[in-house]
Amino acid sequence: MGRELSENEFERLWRRMQHLGLNGYEARTYLVLVGHPQFKALDLATRARVPRQRIYEILDALVEKGFAHVVQEKTKLFSAVEPGLAISSYLARRRQEAERELTQQSHLASGVVDDLHLAYSEGREGRGTLDFLRILSDPSQAGPQFREMLAEVRAEYLEFSRPPYAAAPVERELLRQALERGVACRVLVEEPAIAAEQNGDFVALQSAGVDLRVVKSLPMKMAVFDGERGMIALLDPVITRPSWATVVFDHIGMGQAMKGLFADYWSRAVPPVAPVPQGPEDATQAQAFSSTS
């Protein structure tokens, strides 16, 4: 009979064997086997504190994993495989199984990637998702969203411009770049604003190439990009402190409806009476969406 493990040694080794991949019963059974030349199954169950109805299942698993072997005499006996051989062989088999599983997963992944890429592409184009309409309740999100759309506009930019206004340099530059790309920019401004101190900014817009008209009042802030994307900023009529909520859409039907609304107000608008024009370098995008941030 070999040296009996102390209680502390047994507990420590039992936990370490589980970290290697054996379950609790398997680890306990193997540690009892290690200290003895051979054991009958039911006697082993008692010593290892394993349920008697589970001991044959546990021993079969240990034999399969290379930690035990059967000594066939008048009665079937079980013996431990030398630890160095058992553990090294077990880890080698686990490594081979992991590599084989990884290879199979790699083959499977190529097909999954193709299928997911198709779904992802459709989603990005707006066909595979309902995310064509969003409400930005956080005002700080509206400015970055507006600047992203202005940077990507290709052919047409329409705007309902009403107070409050912002004059961010990055927006002036993006507007200038849009004009240089040949984007047709039309902006409708409320009459009170054009008569106020912002007048010089609006004149600068005209000097930069923006088609500007004045109307008595506008129902909302609005920007429409290429007739299919846009933003609508609405003032909350309920709460005491003024707050803006911005609706962002990427839908051609919505875009065409907003173009129709813009055309109706445009038809009733008039060109501004401008003072002495300023240079294009002073052009300010009198864009309201950034002012809500």
- Sign, CA dihedral 270-275-276-281, equals negative
**H or E stretch at 156:** strand 156-161
Choice between 203 and 112, residue whose per-residue pLDDT is larger? 112
For residue 271, what pLDDT band results from cuts at 50, 70 and 90? confident
> Do 55 and 149 lie in a common domain?
no
Q: Among 81, 96, 114, give the residue marking a domain's end.
A: 81
Task: Give the model's pLDDT for residue 278.
Answer: 42
Task: Give the model's pLDDT for residue 165.
Answer: 60
Tell me if 121 is assigned to some domain.
Answer: no
> Do 138 and 280 lie in a common domain?
yes
CB 181 within 8 A of CB 154: yes
> Do 137 and 278 lie in a common domain?
yes
* Distance, CA of 195 to CA of 70 (rounded, Å): 100
pLDDT tens digits for 139-150? 778 888 888 899
> Do 49 and 137 lie in a common domain?
no
> Do 19 and 154 lie in a common domain?
no
Choice between 102 and 202, residue whose per-residue pLDDT is larger? 102
For residue 123, what pLDDT band results from cuts at 50, 70 and 90? low
Q: Is 158 left (phi over 0), alpha (psi -120 to 50) or beta?
A: beta
Estimate to the nearest angstrom the gap between the alpha carbon of 4 and the chain centroid: 56
pLDDT tens digits for 48-81? 899 999 999 999 999 999 999 888 767 888 888 9
Tell me if 284 is assigned to some domain.
Answer: yes
Task: Give the model's pLDDT for residue 282.
Answer: 37
CB 230 within 8 A of CB 156: no
Tokens of 212: 């500007």
pLDDT tens digits for 150-187? 999 999 999 998 876 654 555 777 888 899 999 999 99
Q: List strands edge to edge, sheet with 68-72.
A: 39-40, 76-80, 68-72
> Do 76 and 139 lie in a common domain?
no
Could you tell me the CATH number of the domain that includes residue 176?
A: 3.30.870.10
- Omega of the bond leading into 164 within 30 degrees of 0 (cis): yes
* Distance, CA of 142 to CA of 127 (rounded, Å): 24
DSSP codes of every residue in 86-128? HHHHHHHHHHHHHHHHHHHHHHHHHHHHHHHHHHHHHHHTTSS
Tell me if 2 is assigned to some domain.
Answer: no
Tell me if 288 is assigned to some domain.
Answer: yes
Task: Give the model's pLDDT for residue 169.
Answer: 54
Q: Measured between alpha carbons, how far is residue 230 from residues 22, 43, 48, 134, 176 in Å?
A: 60, 79, 72, 11, 19
Tell me if 107 is assigned to some domain.
Answer: no
Q: Among 41, 66, 81, give the residue marking a domain's end.
A: 81
> Do 274 and 148 lie in a common domain?
yes
> Do 242 and 141 lie in a common domain?
yes
> Do 190 and 49 lie in a common domain?
no
- Tell me, what DSSP letter sits at residue 4? P
> Do 56 and 150 lie in a common domain?
no
- DSSP reduced 3-state for 293: coil
Tell me if 21 is assigned to some domain.
Answer: yes
CB 62 within 8 A of CB 26: yes
Res 256 pLDDT > 90? yes
Residue type present at position 222: M
For residue 38, what pLDDT band results from cuts at 50, 70 and 90? confident
Tell me if 261 is assigned to some domain.
Answer: yes
Question: What percentage of the chain has pLDDT greater than the value 70?
Answer: 78
- The residue range of the domain holding 165 is 133-292
pLDDT tens digits for 184-240? 999 998 887 766 545 566 777 777 888 989 998 888 889 999 999 999 988 766 555
The total of structural domains in the chain comes to 2
Closest Cα partner for 232 from 241, 243, 219?
219
> Do 139 and 74 lie in a common domain?
no
CB 41 within 8 A of CB 72: no
Tell me if 127 is assigned to some domain.
Answer: no
> Do 153 and 238 lie in a common domain?
yes
Could you tell me the CATH number of the domain that includes residue 21?
A: 1.10.10.10
Q: Among 48, 66, 81, give the residue marking a domain's end.
A: 81
